[in-house]
């Protein structure tokens, strides 16, 4: 356990739930101020005063302040900004990032924690995006608590920083079942890449987010693929986020059949290795249902 996590747990034990939530909300307010003061890409409907990327005149990697490059003072036009946004969205979508995050509609700044654990998850996601956390972040918990929001936004933030430095990083955001279907498609004769080549793209990617692990009933094949993926990332210590609606205690049965319990134990052993990973169970109400309630509509049950 890290010193930060130990300190947070000690403070939590000394506080009531109300005090802990109040402290988390205060940290969120301060965190939002810090996030808003740093370089971030704007949401689609409005033009922000800060846009990471290369100046369209001098081509230096920079952050355009009020559409003015600090290096050459060139003023960017609205059409140039729109084209820069379009290219950024295409780059992020090519990495599998969902549209609302690729377009900047949902970011770490728009995440609104309502519990202390959600606040801590936000802090972990921000630290992960800055490479200030252990390489693996495991987000577990019920649906609608913002796990995908945090993971996708953290990945986008990390890639924006790399792209702004005119560097390049391979990255993938993938739902586990979609990965399995993609790999199985390689069995067809007309498919150009082999299963090993496709899996290697995810294992060797500089950044990887795998969503919805343990949703469907496991098979020997899916368990083997998951182990190869986790073990490959584990050995290379590459930045990774794993997301599941199952708790760590429930995950073993969700990722392996009874005949594959040893394989499940090998996977879980790597997921909880504190030298490589840190995990948090993100709690709270389903924000999707809450959004429907606030609009006066009856949520689906």
Could you give the number of structural domains in the chain?
2
- Residue 230 and residue 117 share a domain: yes
Inside any domain, residue 102: no
pLDDT at 21: 58
Inside any domain, residue 220: yes
- Residue 267 and residue 135 share a domain: yes
- Residue 242 and residue 276 share a domain: yes
- Residue 47 and residue 128 share a domain: no
Q: How far is CA 172 from CA 74, 95, 206, 281, 300, in A?
A: 34, 5, 9, 23, 31
pLDDT at 173: 98
Q: Which of 21-25, 55-59, 165-169 has the highest mean pLDDT?
A: 165-169
- Residue 208 and residue 114 share a domain: yes
**Cα separation, 114 vs 284, whole angstroms:** 7
Inside any domain, residue 10: no
Q: Which of 42-51, 63-72, 262-271 has the highest mean pLDDT?
A: 262-271
Residue with tokens 């970011």: 107
Q: 51 or 128, which is more confident?
A: 128
Inside any domain, residue 225: yes
Question: CATH code at 141?
Answer: 3.40.50.300
pLDDT at 183: 95
Inside any domain, residue 8: no
- Residue 281 and residue 186 share a domain: yes
pLDDT at 1: 46
**Cα separation, 297 vs 41, whole angstroms:** 32
Q: pLDDT (tens digit, 9 = 90+) per residue, 78-120? A: 556 677 788 889 999 999 999 999 999 999 989 989 899 999 9
- Residue 160 and residue 245 share a domain: yes
- Residue 47 and residue 21 share a domain: no
- Residue 237 and residue 156 share a domain: yes
Quick check: 2 pLDDT over 50? Answer: no
Residue 175 CA, chain-centre distance (Å), reads 12
pLDDT at 235: 96
Last residue of a domain, one of 49, 76, 96: 96
Q: Across residues 257-261, what is the average pLDDT?
A: 92
- Residue 236 and residue 176 share a domain: yes
Last residue of a domain, one of 51, 77, 96: 96
Quick check: 3 pLDDT over 50? Answer: no
pLDDT at 191: 83
pLDDT at 192: 83
Residue 142 CA, chain-centre distance (Å), reads 16
HSE, CB side, 13 Å, CA atoms: give it for residue 295.
9
Structural domain range at position 66: 41-96
- Residue 202 and residue 62 share a domain: no
According to DSSP, the β-strands at 61-65 and 50-54 are antiparallel
Give 24's contacts (C-beta < 8 A, 6+ positions apart): 113, 115, 116, 118, 119, 120
Least confident of 41-50, 62-71, 218-227: 41-50
Inside any domain, residue 57: yes
Inside any domain, residue 301: no
- Residue 86 and residue 184 share a domain: no
User: What is the pTM assigned to this prediction?
Assistant: 0.75
Q: Across residues 113-142, what is the average pLDDT?
A: 94
């Amino acid at each position: 356990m890290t010193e930060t996590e130990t300190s947070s747990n000690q403070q939590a034990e000394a506080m009531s739930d109300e005090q802990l939530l109040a402290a988390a909300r205060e940290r969120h307010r301060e965190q939002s101020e810090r996030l808003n003061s740093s370089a971030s890409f704007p949401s689609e409907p409005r033009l922000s005063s800060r846009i990471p990327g290369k100046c369209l005149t001098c081509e230096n990697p920079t952050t355009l302040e009020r559409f003015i490059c600090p290096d050459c003072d060139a003023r960017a036009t609205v059409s140039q900004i729109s084209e820069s946004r379009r290219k950024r969205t295409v780059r992020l979508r090519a990495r599998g990032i969902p549209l609302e995050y690729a377009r900047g509609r949902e970011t770490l700044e728009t995440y609104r924690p309502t519990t202390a654990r959600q606040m801590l998850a936000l802090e972990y996601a921000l630290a992960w995006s800055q490479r200030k956390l252990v390489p693996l972040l495991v987000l577990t918990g019920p649906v609608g608590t913002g796990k995908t929001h945090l993971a996708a936004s953290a990945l986008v933030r990390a890639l924006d920083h790399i792209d702004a430095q005119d560097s390049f990083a391979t990255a993938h955001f993938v739902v586990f079942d979609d990965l399995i279907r993609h790999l199985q498609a390689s069995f067809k004769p007309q498919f150009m890449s082999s299963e090993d080549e496709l899996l290697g793209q995810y294992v060797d990617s500089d950044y990887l987010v795998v969503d919805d692990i343990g949703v469907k009933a496991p098979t020997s094949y899916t368990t083997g693929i998951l182990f190869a993926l986790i073990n490959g990332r584990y050995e290379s210590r590459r930045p990774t986020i794993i997301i599941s609606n199952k708790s760590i205690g429930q995950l073993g049965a969700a990722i392996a059949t009874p005949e594959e319990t040893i394989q499940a134990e090998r996977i879980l052993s790597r997921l909880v290795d504190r030298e490589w990973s840190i995990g948090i169970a993100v709690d709270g109400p389903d924000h999707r249902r809450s959004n429907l309630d606030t609009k006066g509509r009856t949520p689906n049950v």
